[in-house]
Structure 1
Amino acid sequence: MATRGGKLFHRIKINPPQFFALGFLLLIALGTILLMLPIATADRHHLSFIDALFEATSAVCVTGLVVVDTQTTFTLFGQIVLLCLIQVGGLGFMTLTVFIALLLRRNISFEERHLVKESLNQDSYQGIVTMVRFVLLFTIICEVIGTIILGIHWGDEFGYPKSFYYGLFHSISAFNNAGFDIMGDFSSMTAYVDDPIVNLTLTSLLLLGGIGFIVVADIFQKRKTRKRLTLHTKVVLWMSAVLVVSGTLLIFLLEYGNPATIGNLSWNDKLLASYFHGVVPRTAGFNSLNTADLTLGSQLVTMALMFIGGGTGGTAGGIKVTTFAILLFAVWALIKGKQEVNIRNRRIPGDLVFRAFSITTYSVLLVSLFVFLLAITEKGAALNYIAFEVLSAFGTVGMSLGLTPDLSESGKILLSILMFMGRVGPITIAFALAFRIRKTAVRNPEERIIIG
């Protein structure tokens, strides 16, 4: 029997994906109001509605694109508001998605069980609460460790306890793949391009947050029970390693002789900077190199990494590495003349292949539409600047070639919409397809059309 919460859930005719999107919108609205308060800004003059909306959307959607400098514009109150939005946006609504059925029903329907099972790759309903507890504990541990390391490391530079506040802010921002920083002048981590502690701490945090909590939990479970890793975990780890290594090598080769980026660094520092830039587009938004100085080839590599993103069920954006992997194996199966998609001797269900192509098609069309729209609103901006900005917003990355602060009012609104759609859209489509794909006994006659 359904509870009163469950009855309300059906009475207002809102399904879990819609509830998920509505929650983001309400959080963005709250953040916009708080950031417009005079107490939130250093000069005590409130931000314009458009700027506050953009900043709140960027924080909730863990993107990192900013139209004002975070350090100099916001007071401690304003920065804490941003931190809360980042933490809840990056982690809370993923947890809220898991708990949708639990919050609204005591006895959940099959569709809701299927939603939770699909979203967390769980075998049964009983493991959900345990999973969420693990997520929260793992998040706290990672962010505390990051805070301690960066706080101690920055002690001489900023003094105590300010260094620990800096450590806390950037640890939360990195783990949630947000990319917000308080270094000032839109500089991000360029001052620490040759600092291994800052580089390795931030990249470790963003990888742990972005790889997906399903993967982390599976690894811990394997250590306890010696069970084999799931195919999902293997694909995420394998694809993530391939993308990190290939991204690092491509940036290293393309920027090796570029004096504006790594050309004048030592060999070790070149490799460190290339590794940092090979990792952050998926999807943290920090940068230790001035992105506007990157070669066009490196910009294209960065855009590709931003589009792919991180792991499912984590804090990263993009179409997700598992979606990308299924696409690659589907194309390979087609080339080999096979009718089924297999990964590591396991057959991938046809509905997952269909879902992967649907999410990717949606994403390509969405990105193309917004490139077109921004080309109209941002007159005079180069196409690569616009495409970079759009992919950064869609992938909830936060990297920019410098166009963000100069956006028109229309451009800010468009990117705010895109950040929201990039964060919520692929998830909503995946969930919606999980509900709607049904087998039917009635089938239309088949007729082929010529393609290719």
Structure 2
Amino acid sequence: MRRLLRHPVRLVPFGFLATILLGTGLLMLPWATGQHRITPFVTALFTATSAVSVTGMAVVGTPDYWNPFGLVMITVLTQIGGIGIVTGATVVILLVARQLGLRNRLLVQAETQEFGFGDVRRLLRRIAATALICESVITAILTVRFHVTYDYPLGRALWHGVFHAVQGFNNGGFALYSDNLAGFARDGWITLPLAVGAIIGGLGFPALFEAAREWRQPSRWAIATKLTVWGSVALLLVGFLGLLMAEWANPRTIGSFAWPHKLLAVFAQDAFIRTGGFNVFAIDALDEESYPLMIALMFIGGGSASTAGGIKVATFFLLAFIIRAELRGEPDVTIGRRRVANASQRQAVTLALISVTLVVIGTVTLILMTENTRALQTLFEVTSAFTTTGLSVGLAPTLPESGQLALVLLMYIGRVGPLTLGSAIALNTRRRLYRYPEEQPIVG
């Protein structure tokens, strides 16, 4: 415990683990299910991990299996997981910065101008207020729509609005319908607020706050904010166009829709691919061409210190700039008029390689555990679990318990792993007073 308190960053994975175990115990209670029976341990653990890690993947039908108490527990766990991830990541930034030494602290402060080192309380209040406002607005829109258009009683409309607003902003992906949001694919009053909430929650508060403060002068944004905001816009556009072309004539998804509804459904699904986890059409009905695109977008994920998973948008585009500089033979990696520190480059490469390795190991493991499963669908399911996206081709419920436990581990690692790894790398940064002679090995 003394070692943990010496580096409070290490408390983050233990905090999430404790929350998952508590949620598992609550979901195992007989009054959490519609049949009033004890939920099997693996099912409860999978659901609790999926909720706390804001994944949204399920092995049982969410609206059919769980009763109101169980659904409330899933909502609470999702809210704790989403806000806990954001505030935990933000506090980690400050804790790490304080232990980097004066010179590096000044560099971090220059890159995260919104975060004053001594004003954590004000920062956390802003995060909580932003989350509350976004969820309240989404809840109000959905409640009115459910009540007026679908004739839901006011209490039921409010419950559905609150549940889906929490899931949307926190990028959870659980829904109160057996087909998720497929029944509302043509209803923009349902899908668009959730899509916007997923985008905002997936940007991350560091980028969100700075972009809002300096919206008139984007040139003054920090590198991380530029990569996150403009990178997210680019990925949304690529995902929208790619998915639209792949699914335009697919009768199992949007082929029978009128063209305005096709645009609406594809935009909503595009917003949910990297972050939200909702699906507005059946994922297992997609054409084969759509899976590689969605796997790539899920793997990239959202912004740093956000409710989204993946290797993060800034990491992905930083890797692109590293590759460009290397191919052009440039001595430094530059973005705009700023030179990227070598430590940040190594961290990005390390995080990406470890993530690829975990996804490959997970995919091979599930393929060996199951029979008659296609490699592409298995890769999709594993990537969705590791990046805490939650989209599913329906493989998770058919897996044996060992396979479901493998997905649980991937969801947990994918949620706290990148944060812990990045913090550990930063905390272990040391300055040597000497350097060894240089040698250039042959590469390739």
TM-score (norm 1): 0.92
Aligned amino acid, residue 333 of structure 1: A
Report 1:185-200 matches (<5 A).
185=178, 187-200=179-192
Q: Does 1:17 align with 2:9?
A: yes
- 1:162 paired residue among 156, 172, 183: 156
- Could you tell me whether the CA contact under 8 Å between 1:131 and 1:217 is conserved in 2? no
Aligned amino acid, residue 161 of structure 1: G
- Could you tell me whether the CA contact under 8 Å between 2:54 and 2:82 is conserved in 1? yes
Q: Distance in 1 between matches of 2:266 and 2:176?
A: 23
- Could you tell me whether the CA contact under 8 Å between 1:101 and 1:112 is conserved in 2? no
Q: Distance in 2 between matches of 1:112 and 1:100?
A: 15
Match of 1:6 in 2: none
Match of 1:332 in 2: 324
Q: Does 1:34 align with 2:42?
A: no
Structure 1 window deviating more from structure 2 (124-133 vs 74-83): it is 124-133
- 1:304 paired residue among 293, 296, 300: 296
Report 1:268-287 matches (<5 A).
268-287=260-279
What is the aligned length? 438
Q: Does 1:110 align with 2:89?
A: no
Structure 1 window deviating more from structure 2 (93-102 vs 278-287): it is 93-102
Match of 1:243 in 2: 235
Q: Distance in 2 between matches of 1:144 and 1:168?
A: 8
Q: Cα offset for 1:99?
A: 4.7
Q: Does 1:413 align with 2:405?
A: yes
Structure 1 pair 154–354 and aligned structure 2 pair: CA distance change class (3 A): same
Q: Distance in 2 between matches of 1:401 and 1:115?
A: 45
- Could you tell me whether the CA contact under 8 Å between 1:212 and 1:315 is conserved in 2? yes
Q: Cα offset for 1:369?
A: 0.6
Structure 1 window deviating more from structure 2 (372-381 vs 359-368): it is 372-381
Q: Cα offset for 1:115?
A: 9.2
Match of 1:149 in 2: 141
Q: Distance in 1 between matches of 2:379 and 2:219?
A: 44
Give 5+ residue unaligned stretches, structure 1: 1-8
Match of 2:81 in 1: 89
- Could you tell me whether the CA contact under 8 Å between 1:115 and 1:434 is conserved in 2? no
Q: Cα offset for 1:101?
A: 10
Q: Cα offset for 1:230?
A: 2.7
- Could you tell me whether the CA contact under 8 Å between 1:309 and 1:321 is conserved in 2? yes
Q: Distance in 2 between matches of 1:121 and 1:60?
A: 27
- Could you tell me whether the CA contact under 8 Å between 1:257 and 1:263 is conserved in 2? yes
Give 5+ residue unaligned stretches, structure 2: none
Q: Distance in 2 between matches of 1:220 and 1:291?
A: 34
Structure 1 window deviating more from structure 2 (439-448 vs 71-80): it is 439-448
- Could you tell me whether the CA contact under 8 Å between 1:115 and 1:431 is conserved in 2? no
- Could you tell me whether the CA contact under 8 Å between 2:90 and 2:305 is conserved in 1? no
Match of 1:52 in 2: 44
Q: Cα offset for 1:222?
A: 2.7
Structure 1 window deviating more from structure 2 (27-36 vs 149-158): it is 149-158
Report 1:66-81 matches (<5 A).
66-81=58-73
Match of 1:344 in 2: 336
Structure 1 window deviating more from structure 2 (399-408 vs 142-151): it is 399-408
- 1:232 paired residue among 220, 224, 236: 224
Q: Distance in 2 between matches of 1:140 and 1:403?
A: 34
Q: Cα offset for 1:13?
A: 6.3
- Could you tell me whether the CA contact under 8 Å between 2:112 and 2:222 is conserved in 1? no
- Could you tell me whether the CA contact under 8 Å between 2:86 and 2:205 is conserved in 1? no
Structure 1 pair 382–351 and aligned structure 2 pair: CA distance change class (3 A): same
Match of 1:173 in 2: 167
Aligned amino acid, residue 172 of structure 1: V
Aligned amino acid, residue 407 of structure 1: L
Q: Cα offset for 1:166?
A: 0.3
CA deviation digits over 1:159-182, x for unaligned, max 9? 212011101000000100110111
- 2:112 paired residue among 121, 132, 137: 121
Q: Does 1:222 align with 2:214?
A: yes
Structure 1 pair 294–224 and aligned structure 2 pair: CA distance change class (3 A): closer
